[in-house]
């Protein structure tokens, strides 16, 4: 079956508004999907999402957290939309994102890249959660950097002049908040962790699922994460992490055996 439980819109650091993302999902024949914007649920207020087949969309979010020097992203699914402690926490995370962007701009200015916060906000175009891609796009528009990959590699990744570490909540707190809201907490793209032993730690701290099927996971990684899921009784999920058609050239949707996803689907679909 073709599913996509990890995608982004212009409400956070994606480039497409919800209606255009959903149009891609339809063309790819995605049967079940989730919009998982960073630290915001604004996309779920969009008319196109409200009008979409409710049985096809699983409410979702991606919460940025930090733990032991790692950026750890926790996906949450199937929770009730509306006021909650989870909603309050992601609001605070958005405030941190703004402060982080301000510091990035200051550091880039000091390093000889004279962009402004206003330029970054212009690239965000009203997004509810700011992110490093908005800084990268401001650098590109100013002609200082040729593309997104170079911006991250040269300036915005760890060790770069514009890098500012995140000081988000811990993944344990995010897992607790999602569970408290009636949702299913899932570890996003484990293959991007610097320290994969974190999987064992989180699995023993209330984690329910792991994103085994992800575009850049190699066969050996998929086998490893599948084994982790079996060992700890975690459900498996699949997602494209789609942000932008220019950079996510594989597009939306992941073709996965239904049997692999059934335990997750039984929880949320």
Q: pLDDT value at position 69?
A: 81
In this structure, what DSSP letter does residue 154 have? I
Domain 2-89+168-268 sits in CATH at 3.20.20.140
Q: pLDDT value at position 54?
A: 87
For residues 28-34, average pLDDT: 98
Q: pLDDT value at position 126?
A: 72
Question: Over pLDDT 70: what percentage of the chain?
Answer: 100
Q: pLDDT value at position 151?
A: 94
Task: Output the average pLDDT for the chain.
Answer: 93
The third-level CATH classification (topology) of the domain covering 95-156 is DNA polymerase; domain 1 (1.10.150)
Is pLDDT at 250 greater than 80 in this prediction? yes
Model confidence band, residue 169 (pLDDT cutoffs 50, 70, 90): confident
Give domain limits for the chain.
2-89+168-268, 95-156
Model confidence band, residue 43 (pLDDT cutoffs 50, 70, 90): very high
Give the count of beta carbons closer than 10 Å to the beta carbon of residue 256: 19
Task: Enumerate the H helices of 12-116 as residue ranges.
Answer: 18-27, 47-51, 85-110
Q: pLDDT value at position 199?
A: 96
Is pLDDT at 32 greater than 80 in this prediction? yes
| Distance in angstroms (rounded) separating the CA atoms of residues 94 and 169 | 12
Tens of pLDDT, residues 97-131 = 889 899 999 999 999 999 999 999 998 877 777 88
User: What residues contact 224, with CB distance under 8 A and at least 6 apart?
Assistant: 196
| Distance in angstroms (rounded) separating the CA atoms of residues 232 and 5 | 21
**Which among 181, 241, 235 has a CA at the least distance from the CA of 207?**
235
| Distance in angstroms (rounded) separating the CA atoms of residues 204 and 208 | 10
Q: pLDDT value at position 66?
A: 86
Contact present, 109 and 155 (Cβ < 8 Å):
no
> Minimum mean pLDDT among 127-136, 242-251, 252-261: which range?
127-136
């Amino acid at each position: 079956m073709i599913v996509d439980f990890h995608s982004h819109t212009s409400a956070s650091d994606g480039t497409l508004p919800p209606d255009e993302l959903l149009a891609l999902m339809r063309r790819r024949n995605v049967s079940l999907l989730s919009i998982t914007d960073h630290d915001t649920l604004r996309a779920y207020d969009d008319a196109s999402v409200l009008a979409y087949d409710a049985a096809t969309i699983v409410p979702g979010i991606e919460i940025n957290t930090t733990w032991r020097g790692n950026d750890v992203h926790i996906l949450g699914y199937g929770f009730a939309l509306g006021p909650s402690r989870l909603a309050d926490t992601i609001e605070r995370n958005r405030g941190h994102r703004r402060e982080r962007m301000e510091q990035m701009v200051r550091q880039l200015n000091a390093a000889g890249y004279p962009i402004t916060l206003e330029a970054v906000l212009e690239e965000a175009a009203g997004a509810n959660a700011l992110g490093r891609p908005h800084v990268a796009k401001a650098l590109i528009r100013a002609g200082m950097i040729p593309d997104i990959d170079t911006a991250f590699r040269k300036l915005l990744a760890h060790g770069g002049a514009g890098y500012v570490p995140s000081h988000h909540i811990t993944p344990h707190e995010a897992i607790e908040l999602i569970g408290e809201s009636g949702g299913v907490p899932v570890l996003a793209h484990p293959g991007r962790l610097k320290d994969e032993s974190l999987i064992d730690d989180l699995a023993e701290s209330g984690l329910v699922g792991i994103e085994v099927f992800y575009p850049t996971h190699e066969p050996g990684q998929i086998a490893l994460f599948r084994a982790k899921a079996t060992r700890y009784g975690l459900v498996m999920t699949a997602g494209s992490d789609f942000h932008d058609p220019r950079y996510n050239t594989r597009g939306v949707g992941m073709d996965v055996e239904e049997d692999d996803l059934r335990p997750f689907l039984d929880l949320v679909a």
